[in-house]
Amino acid sequence: MYRVLIRFYEELNFFLKDQEKHRDLPVAFPGRRSMKDLIESLGVPHVEVDLILVNGNPVAFDYIVQDGDRISVYPEFEGLDITGVTPLKDRPLRHTAFVADVHLHTLARKLRMLGFDTDYEKHRDDDILAAISQQEKRVLLTRDRQLLMRKNVSRGLYIRSTDPDTQVREVLHRLDLYRHLTPFRRCVVCNALIEPLETDNPDYLRLLKSVPREILTRYKDFRYCPVCRRVYWKGRHVEKMEAFIASLKPEDQ
């Protein structure tokens, strides 16, 4: 038997059973086991982990756990640069793009509204979601822990809340994206970048056919999605969204 002590820090305790939270947890198992397997056997998806120390030294997920190891497992550090220490991820993501699980439709639309490249389709199984995340380097957003435990998923975020507005805050907060909002530039329906609809656009009249008459008399500036052809204008829903965006700013900024 291998016997180790493992402790999870900060919000990683969210994934543990009550009696396992915030303490040195004795774990015993027979035979060879990688660090990734050990951590996930306790319910914590590896994508949530940013740093693992064994007897004080950083190790990677493929480290083979040794008898007697004392293991400390940390989540993403906020506001603390650990790039020199952590062997788990090479570099913070420059371009943040997402793929959202099928259950997160409203979150996907809200992220698009804020300008984030968010891939979403109604019918997708876990294999496809994991493959898209891996191949296109998209952060996989899901409330399915098992999905985040897959080996080919290295970018992912477990969404804790079931309320879409709170989910948006979670994503922005945990990936520190407050400074990267570019609202109203992306089609909420299909994720494409929207463009101004100019009067010399050959499709100008055809595109405006879908817009109610009272809107056409009240508004002059329109934008449209060149992919799904949805037309956008600065109506009352935009004011509502602007209020929501204003409420997103963290208190210290």
The binding track of 128-167 with respect to Zn ion, each residue x by CB under 5 A or -, is: ----------------------------------------
CB neighbours of 52 closer than 8 A, spacing ≥ 6?
35, 39, 58, 59, 60, 61, 63, 71, 72, 73, 74, 88
- Site stretch for Zn ion (CB under 5 A), options 49-57, 210-218, 223-231, 232-240: 223-231
- For 148, counting Cβ atoms within 10 Å of its Cβ (0-12 exposed, 13-18 middle, 19+ buried), the class is buried
DSSP E strands, 20-108: 25-29, 49-54, 57-58, 70-75, 97-100
Q: Environment class of residue 156 by beta-carbon count within 10 Å: exposed (0-12), middle (13-18) or buried (19+)?
A: buried
Q: How far is CA 14 from CA 99, 107, 129, 158, in A?
A: 23, 21, 24, 11
As measured in angstroms, the least distance from the Cβ of 187 to Zn ion is 3
Q: Given the rule CB under 5 A, which of 6-14, 26-34, 148-156, 227-235 is the region that contacts Zn ion?
A: 227-235
Binding of residue 104 to Zn ion (CB under 5 A): no
Nearer to Zn ion, 52 or 111 (CB): 111
Binder among 190, 208, 211, 248 for Zn ion (CB under 5 A): 190
Which residue, 11 or 195, has its beta carbon nearer to Zn ion? 195
Task: Assess 189 for contact with Zn ion (CB under 5 A).
Answer: yes
CB of 227 to Zn ion, least distance (A): 5
Q: How far is the CB of 230 from Zn ion (least distance, A)?
A: 5
Assess contact for 163 and 180: CB atoms under 8 A: no
- As a whole number of angstroms, the distance between CA 83 and CA 146 comes to 27
Q: In this complex, which beta carbon is closest to Zn ion, that of residue 97 or of residue 192?
A: 192
**3-state secondary structure (DSSP) of residue 5:** strand
Question: At closest approach, how far in Å is the CB of 112 from Zn ion?
Answer: 9
Which of 75, 224, 225, 232 touches Zn ion (CB under 5 A)?
225
Residues that bind Zn ion (CB under 5 A): 187, 189-190, 192, 225, 227-228
